[in-house]
């Protein structure tokens, strides 16, 4: 059984939510727990209540809306994504996944379809990690990967504490931020944020997993001195090894793996004055690869480059890995369900790994998960130029909605039940 979502209503919902925190250039500026995020959440909760769903807000602000199933023992199927955005980001990143889930629930209501399993829609708190680090925070706390109190105490650049902002916008809920019951599966639609679907001419992506990732930073410490009167051979310029490391991180993937990527997104130099030799220089790294071994090797290589560059300039350095996420492999049954649905609708699809990290990486630790990717034109994301045509939005939404429905309607024994029986044997 499949349902066809209402494309006009999907587009209307996208436009409505895109206006909350929308920017003049067609982008979206809706940082986690800002007033705009609060307004987007209010709109979302209002839609859930209109559908008579049971709304649950947990103590970390994750919002759930449950549509009951007919089988009292069947664990719920979860579908959703996130409503927060990057600073001056695009309108598709996150929001499309939430709106697609909402449109599924509206369609089921319209058509009077009942499912064996309950269906829960979810909006995860602070996926982006722009205002408060780290990202994937709501799903991280919920899945038990992150500690609740530690994440409450995170502060933004102005020193504002996350918990205070959560209370201010009225989204510190009262249910535990953890899975209080078993879940059947989780499906998430997200824009690809990369060029592979467009370049290969596909309609939707069947995501089989998420690449492994390492984040960190290196700080070099030399000596601040006058740019005019300090001879070159008596300098200890922290900026130089930082720049050399940046260039090496750009070149690293070409030496280490076909799918490896390496990025320096942030550079900070102090005292940051045109005529003073930098005393400290910090560069961040972001390296990813489908293989965790390759990520290990990349970190080893960039550590060696940092040491060599510091040695050449005669400066000290400190290196610290700030985050490490192992690659995630999604459940083959869930992936197959997505694939089958895409095939049934006649959508051209390809299997691919996600280069970006998503809430599904965390949720995959709790229950079987899979993702659907929508085409990102030009691969652009985290910018107002981010674009997915309404047609491509609709195809991906139909795919995630029907994968969710197919899993929820399933009247066979659930995957998890089967697994439990197998474990008992």
C-beta of 228: minimal distance to its own copies in Å? 4
C-beta of 65: minimal distance to its own copies in Å? 29
Shorter beta-carbon distance to its own copies: residue 75 or 135: 135
C-beta of 263: minimal distance to its own copies in Å? 4
Q: Are 295 and 321 in contact (CB under 8 A)?
A: no
Shorter beta-carbon distance to its own copies: residue 22 or 239: 239
Q: For binding to its own copies (CB under 8 A), which residues are involved? A: 86-88, 129-130, 192-195, 211, 213, 215, 223-232, 234, 237, 239-240, 242-244, 246-247, 250, 253-254, 260-269, 271-279, 281, 284, 286, 288, 354-357, 376, 379-383
Shorter beta-carbon distance to its own copies: residue 274 or 423: 274
Shorter beta-carbon distance to its own copies: residue 118 or 356: 356
Phi and psi torsions of 12, nearest 5°: -60, -45
Collect all residues with Cβ–Cβ distance below 8 Å to 140 and sequence separation of at least 6: 134, 146, 151, 362
Shorter beta-carbon distance to its own copies: residue 170 or 254: 254
C-beta of 328: minimal distance to its own copies in Å? 13
Q: Are 3 and 114 in contact (CB under 8 A)?
A: no
Compute the distance between CA of residue 204 and CA of residue 139 in angstroms, rounded to an integer.
24
C-beta of 80: minimal distance to its own copies in Å? 20
Biggest CA–CA distance in the chain, Å, is 81
Shorter beta-carbon distance to its own copies: residue 11 or 276: 276
Helices 390-409 + 332-344 axis angle, to 10: 120
Omega within 30 of 0 (cis) for the link into 271: yes
C-beta of 330: minimal distance to its own copies in Å? 16
* Nearest one of 348, 354, 346, 345 to 373, comparing CA atoms: 354
**Cα separations in angstroms, 263 against 11, 198, 210, 289:** 34, 23, 17, 12
C-beta of 313: minimal distance to its own copies in Å? 8
- Burial-class residue 111 by CB neighbours within 10 Å (0-12, 13-18, 19+): exposed
Shorter beta-carbon distance to its own copies: residue 59 or 84: 84
Which residues are bridge partners to 288 per DSSP? 213, 261
Taking the alpha carbons at both ends of the chain, their separation in whole angstroms is 33
């Amino acid at each position: 059984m499949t349902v066809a979502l209402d494309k006009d209503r999907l587009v209307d919902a996208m436009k409505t939510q895109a206006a909350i925190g929308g920017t003049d250039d067609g982008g979206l500026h809706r940082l986690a727990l800002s007033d705009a995020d609060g307004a987007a959440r209010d709109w979302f909760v209002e839609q859930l209540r209109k559908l008579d769903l049971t709304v649950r807000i947990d103590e970390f602000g994750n919002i759930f809306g449950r549509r009951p199933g007919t089988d009292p023992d069947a664990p719920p199927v979860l579908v959703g994504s996130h409503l927060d955005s990057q600073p001056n980001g695009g309108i598709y990143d996150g929001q499309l996944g939430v709106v697609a889930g909402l449109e599924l629930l509206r369609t089921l209501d319209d058509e009077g379809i009942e499912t064996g399993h309950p269906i829960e829609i979810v909006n995860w708190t602070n996926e982006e990690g722009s205002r408060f680090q780290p990202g994937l925070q709501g799903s991280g706390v919920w899945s038990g990967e992150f500690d609740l109190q530690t994440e409450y105490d995170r502060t933004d650049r102005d020193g504002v504490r996350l918990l205070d902002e959560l209370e201010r916008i009225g989204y510190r809920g009262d249910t535990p931020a953890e899975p209080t019951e078993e879940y059947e599966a989780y499906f998430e639609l997200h824009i690809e944020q990369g060029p592979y679907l467009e370049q290969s001419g596909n309609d939707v992506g069947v995501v089989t997993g998420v690449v492994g990732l390492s984040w960190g930073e290196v700080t070099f410490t030399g000596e601040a001195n006058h740019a005019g009167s300090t001879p070159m051979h008596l300098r200890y310029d922290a900026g130089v090894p930082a720049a050399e490391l940046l260039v090496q991180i750009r070149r690293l993937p070409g030496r280490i793996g076909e799918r490896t990527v390496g990025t320096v997104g942030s550079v900070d130099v102090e005292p940051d004055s045109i005529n003073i030799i930098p005393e400290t220089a910090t560069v961040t790294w972001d390296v990813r690869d489908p293989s965790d071994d390759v990520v290990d090797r990349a970190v080893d290589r960039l550590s060696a480059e940092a040491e060599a560059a510091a040695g050449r300039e005669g400066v000290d350095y400190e290196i610290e890995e700030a985050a490490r996420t192992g690659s995630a492999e999604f459940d083959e049954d869930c992936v197959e369900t997505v694939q089958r649905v895409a095939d049934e609708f006649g959508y051209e699809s390809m299997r691919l790994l996600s280069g970006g990290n998503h809430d599904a990486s965390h949720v995959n630790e709790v229950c079987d998960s899979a993702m659907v990717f929508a085409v990102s034109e030009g691969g652009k994301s985290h910018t107002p130029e981010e674009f997915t045509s309404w047609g491509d939005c609709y195809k991906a939404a139909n795919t995630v909605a029907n994968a969710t429905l197919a899993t929820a309607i399933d009247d066979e024994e659930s995957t998890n039940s089967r697994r439990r029986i197998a474990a008992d044997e």
